[in-house]
Chain A
Amino acid sequence: MEVANIRRKRDGRITIKAGSKAEALMVSTLMILAVLTMIGFLLFDYSGLELKKAISETGNNLKTMFLEPALTHFSWGEAIYQVGITVGLAFLATVLGAVISIFLALFAATNLSNEWVSKVIRIFVAVIRAVPTVLWVLIFAIAAGLGSEAAIIGMLFHSIAYLVKAYSEVFEEVDEGTLEALRATGSNWWHIVMHGVIPSTLTYLMSWTFLRFEINFSVAVAMGAAAGAGGIGFELFMASGFYFDLREVGMITYAILVVAIILEIISTRLKNRYFPSQ
C-alpha cells in the first residue's frame, strides 16, 4: 500500500529532499555560474599564448618563490619586527573593538535592551558591516592620511560592527529564566549583566574575539600593502610590486603563514580549554 505524502522523483525513486524553492534557486544559480565560467574561458584572448612555455614559466616562478625563499632587502630581525607591527595593528584594533562592542552589544541585544535602541544599533552596524574594511580605511585616510592610524581606525570600525552582531547574538542566547530569576531578587540591570549575562557567555565572547583577531591579522597584512599601514604587508607589497623579488615574496609569505598557524593553534587551544565537551 502506498503511504500518503511520499514524494518521488520522475523515475519513481523516493526523494528525501524537501524540495524547497531556496534549494532549487541555489542549484540553478550554481548551474548558471558553471556555464558562465565555461563561456568565459572560451572567450579569452589566447593569441600569443604558448601554453607549454606559460606553464613551465609559472612553475619556475612558483619554484623560485617557495623553494628558494630568501630575504634580500632586509634582515631577519627586521622581518620579525615587521611581522610584530602587523600583529600589533591587528591586536590594537581587536582589543579596542572588543571593549566598545561589549557595551554596544548589550544595548543591541533584544533581551537586555529597549526595542528601539536595539533596532537603531543593529541597523547602524549592519550598514558599517556592508562596506568592506579596506574602504573604511581609505575613507578614514581622507582625514588621517594613509598610514597606520587610518588603518587602525578603519579596522576598528569594521571590527566593532562585526563583534556587536556576534556578541549581541550570544547575549540573546542567555536563558530567559536566569535573567528573570535575577530580576526577581531585586537586581538592577548592571547586576544582571555583570553577574548573569557575562559569566554565562564569556567563553563565547572570547572565541568570537579571537576569531576577529585572526581576521584582523590578515586584514592588517592587506592594509600594509594597500594603505601604507606598514608592517609585513608593506614589505610584501614592496617585494612584489617594486623589486619583483620572487624569493623575498616567498619568504614573507612563509612568515605570514607561520603567524597564521600560531594563531590557529592558540585559538584551538582556547576552544579546547573553554569548550572541553565539544
Chain B
Amino acid sequence: MSLLKVVGLDKSYHSNFRVLTDINFEVDTGEFVSIIGPSGAGKSTLLRCINRMVEVNEGKILFGDLDVGNLSKKALRKLRTNIGMIFQHYNLVPRLTVIENVLHGRFGYKTTLQGILGKFTEKEKEHAFFLLEKLGISDHAYKRCDQLSGGQQQRVGIARALIQEPKLVLCDEPIASLDPNSSKVIMDHLKAITSELNITCLVNLHQVDVAINYSDRIIGLNQGEIVFDGPSQMLTEGRINSIYGTETRQFITV
C-alpha cells in the first residue's frame, strides 16, 4: 500500500481563483520525489494540503489508511508528528538555542502541561544530540539559532523534523536561500534521510538540475495542474519546457 495518496485534489484560497486543479498521485515509502514548477504554480500549497496546514476544497488525501481531511483536532496533531516539514527560511525560533529548537519537534507527542514546562526525557535529549552530531552541528548545540549561517540553520530544521520520527518529510524549497555549497550539503542530507532511514521525502525545488540529480521521481506542476509525473531520467528538455513555458527557459538556465 502506498504511504501517501492524493485523489482529485482541488484547492482555492479565493472562490474565483483555483490554485490546484485535480491533483492525483501516489507516493511509496522510501521514495524521493521532487516537485518542480514555476513560482506560483502551487507547489507550496500542495505540500501544505498534505499535513492540512491549509484545508482542501475537493478531493481526498490519504496518509496510510488515514483520511487527512476527516481527522479530529487530536488525530490531526498525531498525524503531524508523522510528517516532518522543512522550510525555505528555516522557520526556527531565532532567540532560542539549537538544541531547544530541535526538541520542539517532540511537542506533538506531549500533553499541554508537559509541553508548557518543556519536559523532555533524557532519551529525547540524547536523540537530539545524536541528530545534531550526524548533521555535523553538535558543537553549535548551545548557540542561539540567529548566530548560525543559513546552511547550519537549515540543518537544525532537518534535525527538528527528524526528531519527530516521521514517515514523510515535506521540504518547501529547502535550498532556495542557500549558496551552492550549503545547498549540496543540505540535499545530500535529505537524500540520506531517504536512503538510510527509509523516510519518504517530498521536496519542492525550482532548480531542475538538482531535482534530476537527486530524485527518483519528479512531478512537474504548472498553474496548479500536474503536467509531468515520472522517473527523473524521463524528464527531457521538451518536457521541462512544457513545465516552465518555452520562452523563459531559453533565457534563464536554472
Q: A-side interface residues toward B, CB under 8 Å?
A: 175, 177-178, 180-188, 190-191, 194-196, 199-200, 202
B: residues with CB less than 8 A from A are 51, 53, 77-81, 83-85, 87, 89, 91-96, 100, 104-110, 112, 115-116, 118, 157, 160, 164
Q: Which residues of A contact B115 (CB under 8 A)?
A: 187-188, 190-191, 194-195
Given A180-B53, A190-B116, A195-B107, verify A185-B92 contact (CB < 8 Å).
no
- The winner among B93, B100, B104, B164 for most chain A CB atoms within 10 A is B93
Is B107 in contact with A187, judged by CB distance below 8 angstroms? yes
The answer on a CB contact under 8 Å between A185 and B104 is yes
In the assembled complex, which residues on chain B have CB atoms less than 8 Å from the CB atom of A186?
77-81, 107-109, 164
With beta carbons under 8 angstroms apart, the residue of A177, A187, A200 that contacts B108 is: A187
Which A residues are in CB contact (< 8 Å) with B79?
A: 186
Closest to B94 in A: A200
Q: Is the CB of B80 within 8 A of A185?
A: yes
Residues in A neighbouring B112, C-beta threshold 8 A:
188, 190-191
Nearest Cβ distance between residue B23 and chain A, in whole angstroms? 20
What B residues does A187 contact at CB under 8 A? 77, 104, 107-108, 115
Q: Are B95 and A185 in contact (CB under 8 A)?
A: no
Which residues from B are CB-within-8-Å of A190? 112, 115-116
Cα-based distance from A184 to B95 in the complex (angstroms): 20
Residues of A within 8 A of B87 (CB): 177, 180-181
Kindly identify which residue among B81, B94, B100, B116 contacts A185, using a CB–CB cutoff of 8 Å.
B81
B138 CB to nearest A CB, Å:
21
CB-CB < 8 A to B89: which residues of A?
177
Shortest Cβ distance from residue B52 to the other chain A in the assembled complex, whole angstroms: 10
Q: Is the CB of A181 within 8 A of B107?
A: no
Contact: B108 with A199, CB < 8 Å? no
CB-CB under 8 A from A202, the residues of chain B are 95
Instruction: Report whether A182 and B96 are in contact in the complex, using a CB–CB cutoff of 8 Å.
Output: no
Choice from A180, A184, A195 contacting B93 with Cβ under 8 Å:
A195
Task: Assess whether B91 is in contact with A178, with CB atoms less than 8 Å apart.
Answer: yes
Alpha-carbon separation in the docked complex, A199 to B97 (Å) = 11
What residues of chain A lie closer than 8 Å to B160, measured between beta carbons?
181, 185
How far apart are A204's CB and chain B's nearest CB, in angstroms? 11
Q: Are B96 and A181 in contact (CB under 8 A)?
A: no
Evaluate contact between B105 and A185: CB separation under 8 angstroms: yes
A184 to B166, CA, bound (A): 12
- B110 to A, closest residue via Cβ: A191
The answer on a CB contact under 8 Å between A184 and B83 is yes
A residues within 8 A CB of B104? 182, 185, 187, 195-196
Highest count of chain A CB atoms <10 Å: which of B104, B157, B164: B104
Please indicate the chain A residues that have their CB under 8 angstroms from the CB of B108 in the complex: 185-187
Q: Which residue of A lies closest to B81 (CB)?
A: A186
A196 to B79, CA, bound (A): 21
20 contacts across the A-B interface (CB closer than 8 A)? A177-B89, A177-B91, A178-B91, A180-B87, A181-B91, A181-B160, A182-B107, A184-B51, A184-B84, A184-B85, A185-B84, A185-B104, A185-B106, A186-B79, A188-B115, A191-B107, A195-B100, A195-B104, A196-B93, A202-B95
Cross-interface CB contact of A184 among B53, B109, B110, cutoff 8 Å? B53
- In the complex, how many angstroms separate the beta carbon of B144 from the nearest chain A beta carbon? 10
**Which of B53, B78, B116 has the most chain A CB atoms inside 10 A of its CB?**
B116
Give chain B nearest CB distance to A193 CB in angstroms: 9
B160 → chain A closest CB, angstroms: 7
* B residues less than 8 Å from A182 (CB atoms): 93, 104, 107
Please report the C-alpha to C-alpha distance between residue A199 and residue B79 in the assembled complex, in whole angstroms: 27
**Chain A residues within an 8 Å CB radius of B110:** 191
Contact status B91-A180, CB under 8 Å: yes
Minimum Cβ distance to chain B for residue A35 (Å): 52
Closest chain A residue, CB of each to CB of B82: A186
CB <8 Å contact, A178 and B164: no
Interchain nearest-CB distance for A157 vs B (Å): 28
Q: A190: shortest Cβ distance to chain B, in Å?
A: 5
Bound Cα distance from A210 to B116, whole angstroms? 25
- Contacting residues, chain B, for A194 (C-beta < 8 A): 115-116, 118
Complex: A191 Cα to B96 Cα, angstroms = 14
Closest 6 CB pairs of A and B: A186-B108, A181-B91, A187-B107, A186-B80, A177-B91, A191-B115
From B114, which residue of chain A is reached at the shortest CB distance?
A: A191
